Structure 1
Amino acid sequence: MSDRLKNKTIIITGASAGIGASMASLCAERGANLVLLARSYEKLLSLKTDLESRFHVKVDIHKLDVSSTDEVQAVFSKVLEQLDRVDVLVNNAGYGVFREAHEAKIDDMKGMFAVNVVGLMACTSMVLPVMRQQGSGHIINIASQAGKIATPKSSVYSATKHAVLGYTNSLRMELSSHRVFVTAVNPGPIETNFFTIADEKGTYVKNVKRFMLKPEYVAKKVVDTMLTPTREINLPGWMNAGSIVYTLFPRLFERLGRRMFNQK
């Protein structure tokens, strides 16, 4: 196991469950000190107790709803006052609601952009001065294959992830001279509680369950690339191949894939 993360400081949003909790566990196993942020303080507290007892690392936790930019500023200001440096920020907090555009609720539209886009940007903006000053660091944004292939019933969610990819790509170029790495993670569907909100009827999960990724698998892929100049992590490979075909032959791809896309 690489000791690249030993004694490094890693901040993870949306850390109380799913791939966030899995990443936290893997980072702690590799000797990293953690700052874990999420809306559920009780889940964070349980995770903190478990990780500190098993791996003897320092784990700080803070309740944070990234949709509130005031909370982001307050919590990150408090966190940064207590840290000498920040080595990695993983922007993992996010959610989706799958509905056709004419059925999408305004509150859901605002909510998804507030969490998936503005919240991610706000968290990043808080650590950027630190990373630029120290001349190192790594921003990891959990995007989605939905940011590459827009599909029916996910118009708003796809739009948020397209925005994340645009922001990530620009940020990477801005920070290249400061030796700060920027990585976009684009997974397909993951077997987490994400779909209890996104897929209210359960039809999408039923149709794609055999293709769903395990959160532990995605987490390991991300943690393995921390503090390396990795541009993107695309999972699974065959789905990413589809996004390449989509870019080259969008009309053909949409026509041939219509039946599969409408399984949501």
Structure 2
Amino acid sequence: MNYADSLSSQLAVVTGASSGIGTEFARQLARRGVDLVLVARSQDRLEALASTLSSQYGVKVTPVVLDLSRPDSSERLVRTLDEMGAVVDVLVNNAGFASHGDLAAADPERMEAQVQLNVGTLVGTTTRLLRGMVERGRGSVINVASTAGFQAVPHMAVYSATKAFVLSFTRSLWGETRGTGVAVLGICPGATDTAFFDVAGDNASVGSRRTPQQVVDTALSALGGRKATVVDGGGNALVARAVSRLLPERPLIRIAERSVRPGSR
């Protein structure tokens, strides 16, 4: 039995659960007998998913409709959990989005919302829930980062910077929680076949796309192991870890720029 299979009868909060990787995390955790709190903006999709998972796996699934890009969203989420009497054992920080284009032409408020969702809410929610996990001597935190966090990505400057933050934050948190009973993992997908690119655009995609199931399989297999972060897919791991260390900074930035240049496809 791996670590993820021992989570049965625990309670997990999954953010960004209404589609893609978040939905797959919810499905795989429910299959393991984990009760769920699903958080996203889309009430219809959350309620439909909650109904499906509850009837299929016999777990309790509670949808929470919340815009996590708001500065007060982590406080509001944890207040809602407290009102429910929820004791959170597993936190999956999956919610996030990317913008594609030059910063000089970007909407400042949208960039700020991206930082808030990808970084601010992730940190706020983790901080508010981690203390209880440490006190109970049990818990799991999974942060969804990205291969974009391993290097600078022109035309996706804010997104790659937020994911670099998530990588560093997760590694530090992994070090802080050693010996506490809390498992921490950062999962780094590359291009994945989700609605992510409906927002970011197809030019933001590099390489063949993996499936949400592959990404979540990788994450749950690595959870509780010896690594703070894991890259999904062998090719993605090669590019993220090896190439970014071997190539000098300037050529690496130029390659990344050409790869995701708007209008290049």
Contact 1:136 1:180 in 2 (8 A): yes
> How many angstroms does 1:163 deviate by?
1.3
* 2:229 aligned partner, one-letter code: E
- Unmatched 5+ stretches in structure 1: none
- Unmatched 5+ stretches in structure 2: none
In structure 2, which of residues 60, 63, 72 is the aligned counterpart of residue 61 of structure 1?
63
CA separation of 1:110 and 1:69: change in aligned 2, threshold 3 A? closer
For residues 189-238 of structure 1, give each alpha carbon's deviation from its aligned partner in whole angstroms, at most 9, with x where no partner exists: 11111111111xx4445xx4x61111121122223344445421202222
- SS of the residue corresponding to residue 4 of structure 1 reads helix
CA separation of 1:259 and 1:6: change in aligned 2, threshold 3 A? same
In structure 1, which of residues 135, 139, 146 is the aligned counterpart of residue 148 of structure 2?
146
- SS of the residue corresponding to residue 87 of structure 2 reads coil
> How many angstroms does 1:118 deviate by?
0.2
> How many angstroms does 1:253 deviate by?
3.7
In structure 1, which of residues 156, 159, 163 is the aligned counterpart of residue 158 of structure 2?
156
* 1:13 aligned partner, one-letter code: T
* 2:76 aligned partner, one-letter code: A
Aligned twin of 1:49: 51
Contact 1:88 1:227 in 2 (8 A): no
CA separation of 1:70 and 1:253: change in aligned 2, threshold 3 A? closer
Matches within 5 A, 1:70-85: 70-83=72-85, 85=87
Contact 1:85 1:134 in 2 (8 A): no
Aligned twin of 1:115: 117
The more displaced of 52-61 and 170-179 is: 170-179
Identical counterparts, % of pairs = 34
Rounded Cα–Cα distance in structure 1 between residues aligned with 2:107 and 2:216: 31
> How many angstroms does 1:134 deviate by?
0.4
Aligned twin of 1:104: 106
CA separation of 1:255 and 1:193: change in aligned 2, threshold 3 A? closer
Aligned twin of 1:223: 220
TM-score w.r.t. the length of structure 2 is 0.89
Rounded Cα–Cα distance in structure 2 between residues aligned with 1:114 and 1:84: 25
- SS of the residue corresponding to residue 17 of structure 2 reads coil
The more displaced of 129-138 and 249-258 is: 249-258
- The CA RMSD over aligned residues, in Å, is 2.2
- SS of the residue corresponding to residue 185 of structure 1 reads strand
* 1:248 aligned partner, one-letter code: L
Aligned twin of 2:244: 246
Rounded Cα–Cα distance in structure 2 between residues aligned with 1:216 and 1:79: 28
CA separation of 1:62 and 1:8: change in aligned 2, threshold 3 A? same
> How many angstroms does 1:258 deviate by?
5.6
Rounded Cα–Cα distance in structure 1 between residues aligned with 2:255 and 2:83: 53
In structure 2, which of residues 199, 205, 223 is the aligned counterpart of residue 197 of structure 1?
199
TM-score w.r.t. the length of structure 1 is 0.89
Rounded Cα–Cα distance in structure 1 between residues aligned with 2:157 and 2:256: 16
In structure 1, which of residues 128, 131, 147 is the aligned counterpart of residue 130 of structure 2?
128
